[in-house]
Structures are given as structure tokens and as C-alpha cells.
Amino acid sequence: MQPQLVLDGQGEERLLLVMKGSFELDGEVLRPTYAAVVLADQYRGDPASTSLVAASEVVLFKPLPDLLLSGHAFPEERGGTTGAVSFRVGNWSKDALVFGDRVWMRGVTGLHPSAPQPFERIPLVYERAFGGADLARTSPLGCPENPVGVGMVDCRSGGPVPNLEHPRHRLSAAGDRPPSRAFGPIPPHWQPRRSFHGTFDADWQRTRMPLPPLDADPRAAQVAPPDQVLPHALEGGEPVEIRGVRQDGRWLRFHVPRLRVRVTVHDGRCVRELPTALDTLHVDADALRLDLTWRAHVSVHDGIDNLAWVRIDAEEAPHG
């Protein structure tokens, strides 16, 4: 559990409690382990030119659950040139095609991807998916959903082509605009998260700063790409299946633990239970670890010294 003192959209101080449950994946058996709460966005390098390793978990509220996957993709057979990754949670699923390194080649009809090279493994990162940006231009060109990818700019003979592709929107020629395909968190300055932060204009500077704009959308807290935001609650018990992320070719298969996390507080006046929700599921296929995150918050605007105590209990939820 990680407590944080934060301001909400009305400038009220709230005590945020982030509860994280981590489990080692041993076949279909889940063994409790430990992983720290992520307090700030962690980038692979320069935030302007690299993707997130992990997104900050210090947010008051997520409207819907985020589903995240990190790790590497492996070829379908040793020494192969192609593979596929499938990530399924309950009735939700997302797939990607995986190719060894390719470059643009010039043919009779223009530029097209070369044949893929054999590969041992490829990281599931946005740098290997469709996108890109030309930040040197006065008016930057590129992909606002994935400015660190490849295939959209620098389309020249010998230029890089994405390793990760959408199965139903293949990249076949320079100028194609398929959706980017990766499984990790997106930074706050990429679309669509950027558009959810609201309007930072002169009126905001005069009347609201440093609070969020009045037109801020809570979806800004969703760190998964839109197609990895589950449209309903995570209840626990959902089957999870992931293929293409193990060198031995085996699938990861398990069920989301049926856990109920209860947070009880004495706010100086009475004892009450705070609502909690399981709003983040992250599978680290390299570490063979499942991370689940719940959160709750309570007003301490009258003074945190009035808060007598906080108790957190986790128990197996009943079936049905």
C-alpha cells in the first residue's frame, strides 16, 4: 500500500491509497510476491523521443480498468522470421503480428517492406510499432498516437519498417496509415490522453492554475491505449491467455484472482469503508509476474491530523 497526499479537481486535499497485489506466474498457479507502486512516469530515455517503461500509479480515479502487457515477442519457430502475440482477458482480446527486421525497398510500384529477417526476440514497445515524428520541422509531422514509432516518416529506401503490426491493417506501401500496435502504457503527451487534459489557456492561467481545467476529462488517467481499456469492471475470476511471449512457445494461462480489497478509515468523526475498484491489470511476461492495482481516497481537507487510522484487508471474494 502506498499513501499519497494529492489535490482533486476542486483543490481539496485527499489521501490517496494505492494498493498493489503482485503474483509470480508459475503455470496456472499464482504465488504472491512484491512489486513497488510506481510513483512517477518512467521512460526508456528522453521523454520526447522514447516510450514509457511504466506509468505513474498516483492518480485518484480511473473510469475503467487498464489492461497492460510488457515483455518480448518470439518467433513461431526457432530461427523464424514471423510470430504473433495474443492478449486475452475474459471476452476481451487484442492481437499483433510480429516480423523480423525489415526496411523499405523500392520496386516498380514504389516503396514496400522487404522480407523479414530471422529474429530471436523483439521487445513489445512502441518504438517497434507504426508511427514516428519529424520534430525538426517547424510544424512537426507524424503520428500523435505514437510519435516514437517507425514507418510514417523517413520513408526512404533502407528506412526501418515496424516489427509489430495490426493483423487487419497491414503496412504495404509508403503512405499507408495503419493504427499503431503495441501493448504498453502511453505517455500523457500522446494522443488521445493529451486531448483529455483540458484547455490550458489564458483563462485557465488566470482562474484555475495549478488545478486542472474545468473541461478536463477523467479518461486522461487511463494509461492503456484505447483498445486496451476494458469497457466494464474487472470482477476477478476472468481467464487470461497470452501467447507468443515465451521462448519455449508455451502460453501464459491463469485466472485473475478473486480478491476483495477493503479500506476502512476513521476520519476523526466516524468509521467508514471506502469504495475500491480493481482498475489496472499488468502482465510482465519477461518477469512472469502479474500486477493488480486497486485505489481508494478520502478527503483530509480539514487536516490530515484528524485521520485516526486506516485499515486495509484483502480476502477472497465469493464466487458467483
Mention every residue, 6+ apart, whose C-beta is less than 8 A from residue 317: 236, 258, 259, 260
Specify burial of residue 109 (Cβ count, 10 A radius: 0-12, 13-18, 19+): exposed
Cell of 244: 507468443
Alpha-carbon distance 260 to 161, whole Å?
A: 45
Instruction: Please report, to the nearest 10 degrees, the dihedral formed by the alpha carbons of residues 171, 174, 175, 181 taken in order.
Output: 30
Verdict on whether the full-model pTM lies above 0.75: yes
Strand-pair partners of 30:
25
Q: How far is CA 102 from the centre of its chain?
A: 26
pLDDT at position 309, please?
85
pLDDT at position 57, please?
95
Q: Give the CA angle between residues 200, 206, 211 to the nearest 5°.
A: 60
pLDDT at position 137, please?
63
Alpha-carbon distance 143 to 170, whole Å?
A: 16
Mention every residue, 6+ apart, whose C-beta is less than 8 A from residue 143: 130, 131, 132, 133, 149, 152, 180
User: Can you state the percent helix, strand and coil of the chain, rounding each to 5?
Assistant: 5, 40, 50
Specify burial of residue 311 (Cβ count, 10 A radius: 0-12, 13-18, 19+): exposed
- What is the pLDDT tens value at each position of the chain, 320 positions in all? 678 888 888 888 888 999 999 999 988 889 999 999 999 999 999 999 999 999 999 999 999 999 999 999 999 998 899 999 999 999 999 999 999 999 999 988 889 999 999 999 999 999 999 999 876 665 567 899 999 999 998 888 889 999 999 999 999 998 899 999 999 999 999 999 999 999 998 999 998 988 888 889 999 999 999 999 999 999 999 999 999 999 999 999 999 999 999 999 887 788 888 889 899 999 999 999 999 999 999 888 777 777 888 899 888 877 65
pLDDT at position 135, please?
64
